[in-house]
Amino acid sequence: MKVYLNALGVLNPLGRGKREVAHNLFRGSREGLVQRCDLISDRAVRVGAVRSDLPEVPARLAHLECRNNRLALAALQEIEAEVKTIICHVGANRVAVVMGTSTSGIAEGEAALAQRIAHGAWPEGFHYTRQEIGSLGRFVAEYLGLDGPAYTIATACSSSAKAFASAQRLIEAGLCDAAVVGGADTLCRMTLNGFDSLDALSKDYCNPFSRNRDGINIGEGAAMFLMSTEESAVSLLGVGESSDAYHVSAPHPEGDGAALAMRRALEAANLKPGEINYINLHGTATELNDAMEGRAVSKVFGDRTPCSSTKSMTGHMLGAAGANEAAFLWLTLEPEFATGLAPPHLWDGEADPAIPPLNLVPVAFRIASRDRVAALSNSFAFGGSNAAVVLGRGW
């Protein structure tokens, strides 16, 4: 069964809304990567931050108020009209919600705990359910008034990529006719200090695939799609998943699980490697991830397919990375926004000789003009939870 991504709402360090995000994506903006002094106690750290004002959570959903859900709400508002239209056609009980996150409302929990330590009492109205992982899926369903299946996936950095596979399966199984699919993640101290304890944070701008890379920038963002069988310009051609479980925090050094996910995505899409016009790399700029992904991409695609890591513009949005980077594919393919340009790879240009050569594309690189265009996005997580998503136009 063929499914389409009919509408997109997005905000992240590149901007708010499809038009602003697309403009800054294709010109290679790093304006959203800023220094913050409030996330790690002993120093400033560069992060990808959403800078726009966020909408207020409606009073009826005050029990779910948190920054993570406000990020989600800003993205939802961009597709709300399309969701309401499909509800009118199929009913609220036939629209599912599948979200991905890793932070949920943890930032609010951190602030609440700090107040309790300082003053001996929790803030009035605070409840720990705001930081439950399932809060995001519940919030989206309640905000939109949906009664279909609704849940949240938490597989670390592949969470919202895996949401596409789950939503597609729900539609194919006949459990729903459409789904709101996406993810949101928010900057918080726990995440930054956790990655800092692993010596995984970059001292400045991250530098994916460079011999000089020294770690990641953490980012935040949200992206929401309407998925259905109703035909539109961009289709979900296939999703590939794997779980190599090589190590709790380190990837398989040869990228076996990553390569398997990409091959399964190609198989699901019924495409050959040479039919992929662009790859959005996971590209975290950590020593081990870039090395294994470079080997995996080389095994599957060789060295000719145009590719880039957009984390050098947004930071690593963790559980929301998969949905946001699928959004970058959507903007590359959707006729209203597509300019023929590929998202660029920003780095110092010094290749790591230990990584097989890749076709890392600069600003203003144009994808070959064809009636049919397909693009793939990689998401790899702790524990070897891998996902590759293939979107297409004209297939």
- Which domains does the chain show, CATH number per domain? 3-393 (3.40.47.10)
Q: What is the mean pLDDT of residues 145-165?
A: 97
pLDDT per residue as tens digits for the range 258-269: 999 999 999 999
Give me the pLDDT at residue 236, please: 98
Which one of 157, 176, 188, 307 is the catalytic residue?
157
Q: Is 81 exposed, middle or buried (0-12, 13-18, 19+ CB in 10 A)?
A: exposed
Q: How far is CA 380 from CA 3, 54, 158, 338, in A?
A: 24, 29, 6, 26
Alpha carbons 91 and 182: distance in angstroms, whole number = 20
Residue 183's pLDDT band, with cuts at 50, 70 and 90, is very high
Please check the confidence at residue 177 and state whether its pLDDT lies above 90. yes
Please check the confidence at residue 114 and state whether its pLDDT lies above 90. no
Please check the confidence at residue 253 and state whether its pLDDT lies above 90. no
Q: What is the mean pLDDT of residues 89-108?
A: 95
Please check the confidence at residue 360 and state whether its pLDDT lies above 80. yes
* Of the ranges 7-11, 242-246, 383-387, the best mean pLDDT one: 7-11
Q: Is 42 exposed, middle or buried (0-12, 13-18, 19+ CB in 10 A)?
A: exposed
CA 322 to chain CA mean position, Å: 3
Percent of the chain with pLDDT over 70: 100
247 is catalytic: no
282 is catalytic: yes
Alpha carbons 306 and 367: distance in angstroms, whole number = 8
Give me the pLDDT at residue 106, please: 87
Give me the pLDDT at residue 110, please: 87
**Residues ≥6 apart with Cβ < 8 Å to 238:** 264, 265, 266, 267, 268, 269, 270, 271, 389, 390
End-to-end CA distance of the chain, in Å?
A: 13
Please check the confidence at residue 344 and state whether its pLDDT lies above 90. yes
Please check the confidence at residue 127 and state whether its pLDDT lies above 90. no
Alpha carbons 212 and 86: distance in angstroms, whole number = 49
Q: What is the mean pLDDT of residues 141-152?
A: 98
The SS3 call for residue 97 is strand
Beta bridge mates, 5: 227
Q: What is the mean pLDDT of residues 135-151?
A: 97
Residue 283's pLDDT band, with cuts at 50, 70 and 90, is very high
Which one of 206, 282, 307, 345 is the catalytic residue?
282
What mean pLDDT, rounded, does the chain reach?
95
Please check the confidence at residue 248 and state whether its pLDDT lies above 80. no
Please check the confidence at residue 250 and state whether its pLDDT lies above 80. no
Alpha carbons 136 and 38: distance in angstroms, whole number = 25
Which one of 66, 206, 252, 316 is the catalytic residue?
316
Give me the pLDDT at residue 249, please: 72
Give me the pLDDT at residue 125, please: 80
Give me the pLDDT at residue 1, please: 87
Give me the pLDDT at residue 382, please: 84
316 is catalytic: yes
Give me the pLDDT at residue 252, please: 83
Residue 129's pLDDT band, with cuts at 50, 70 and 90, is confident
pTM: predicted TM-score of the whole model, two decimal places = 0.97
